[in-house]
Structure 1
Amino acid sequence: ALGEQFLREIRPFVWRRHLDFAAVADIHSIKRQIYAHKGAKGAGATIALAGHDVKLGRGGIREIEFTAQVLQLIWGGRDPGLRDPTTLGALAALAAAGRIERRAAADLADAYVFLRNLEHRLQMVADRQTHRLPEDEAGLARIASFMGFASGEEFAAAFLGHLGRVERHYGNFFEAAPALTGTAATEAGGNLVFTGVEDDPETSATLKRMGFADPGSVAAMIRAWHHGRPRATRSARARELLTELMPGLLGAFARQFNPDQALARFDAVLTRLPAGVQMLSLFRRNPALLDRVAGILGAAPELANHLAHNAAALDGLLAGSVSQLGGAGGVDPSACLP
């Protein structure tokens, strides 16, 4: 009884009549951030059969669940009939309500059943929790037979067909956005996830490979940004931009002589800004600008301290940098000082 009462009380906070669409975009950005750092090459690239992760990989189970759940969040606050807790039930309800095309719902449902069956068989064969296809031909042939296919080629065609349809529908629901990978982050590989309250071990390992000496402090700093502790990141739009920028931002600071120190200087600047949307939007539109700012903060401690205490000086730096992007000249740090 107490549990049911709790669920009733939190229902308005889960199923909101007027959803913050920026929050949905932020969730999508986090999804793409995880996706990018698990080795995805982007829509249209060839999906490798061997070793593919049927749960987290492109066109996989998570993309189907994510699509259904986000559409439920968008429309479920006004239509209680869409609040089915199961993925297949949610897809059927969304199609019946006209919130998703019936063909798309059918494709996603068929793929979900296929991939769940495949996932279960992979775990039965391996006798452990796994979501990856075998790497070798013999292992793939065994799974193909277990799934009821006469040959590995037939299995591959069916499997890749499902992934392709899921990826296409997923892309239709969530319009293409800028790539989330920065050069240093891409080379390092692994996760860059800063949700929750504890450090993600894979993220810590990625930060270490990128060159950060104290991954725990870096992760804590970034979580504070995502939680809106600085005024500059308290708006939904600022956090959305921050999430999209994070791999590239970390990559830019990882290329400095002392990545931890350079990022800490950026934190000091960010903490004292009254708002962050304008600066983060500039970084999003001009990745080279982010590299320049990171370079200045990494190489000029006195200027970094000045910028942290003078918002007008930061505005001057950003304006000057934007005007010079693409030109032969560089940014003269002294020009930003009064």
Structure 2
Amino acid sequence: MEEVNRRRFLKHATVATAGVSLAAGCLGDDEDDGAEAEAEDDFPTDNITIVIPFGEGGGTDDFARTVAGAADDHLDVSIQFENEPGAGGLNGTQDVVQAEPDGYTLVAFNPPSTPTSWLVQQPPYEIGDLEGVATVGRFPYIIYANTDYEIEDFGDLIDRYEDGEFSQIAGQGVGTMVDVVARTLRDDVGLPWEDYIAYDGGGEVTEAVMSDEVSVGIGTDSGALAGAEEGRLEPIACIPDGGSAVFPDLESIAEQGSAEEGDPIDTLAMLQPSYWAPPGTPSEHIDVIAEALEQATEDEGVQEWAEDTGNVVEYSGPDEASQLLADVLETVPDVVDLDEVREEAES
């Protein structure tokens, strides 16, 4: 209808000079619209920034820099990474929620981790408004210790806590997914730690354990790999049932007889690396980035990294990523007593 009215206007405007001027103005608008449309079609024309809302060296950081880092080969622009740790991933995530929805700023986090932190801490923004871009893999939390203690298995670890050899456990910030997992290990599985020592990111947790600043910690299997290869960190158990691709011989706590298969810990402790865009980002831009990420998961270098590290790399698209976030926000409150976590975090 708009185009028909414009033609009628141009036809009748030729009878007067003023009308000709107006028509010329309309034609100029058409040219501007065409230029804008062409620019939209050319997306991206500038570098894309992926905010990693944790410190360097953790599982989220490793996955993003390896997988998403390979996507720039398919975009003709560079992908840049910014680590913005704090509040269990919520500070960097907030920056992206509030960023310009133009497709040039994304955030990487791993449901159910950061969405659970959001449910616990209730910051003044809606994480559920983020637009899903892609999920690119999965990995579990594991529990590990400094190698000097020669812990045999999860049962031995429980005994040592009960004997008073250990009282602390290290993990990411209070109110984060790792905090929730640690509380579940204590309350439902029987690991009697007393003091939770919080760090900004998984890399800091592994460093603390390797240096024996804290003797036992919880983190991702991929984030623990370097420390294990150096011989300074010993994986004790995979927390969820199903095991670890990074440490294929590592038994789960259920397999070691300290939990039951299907316990809530299984829901909480398996992470899915994913990418998200600010609310309102055009779907056309999201699709371009998602396609590049899909191609990146198939790159030879990424596949070699997955094989060498044992990380599971697998792609699903924007709809699946959006559904994953919605599912986590709906189901975690049924699994976790969020009020209790808040109260304990505040005490």
What TM-score, normalized by structure 2, do the two folds share? 0.20
Richer in helix (by share): 1
Richer in strand (by share): 2
What TM-score, normalized by structure 1, do the two folds share? 0.20
Structure number with the bigger relative contact order (C-alpha 8 A, sep ≥ 6) is: 2
- Larger gyration radius, structure 1 or structure 2: 2
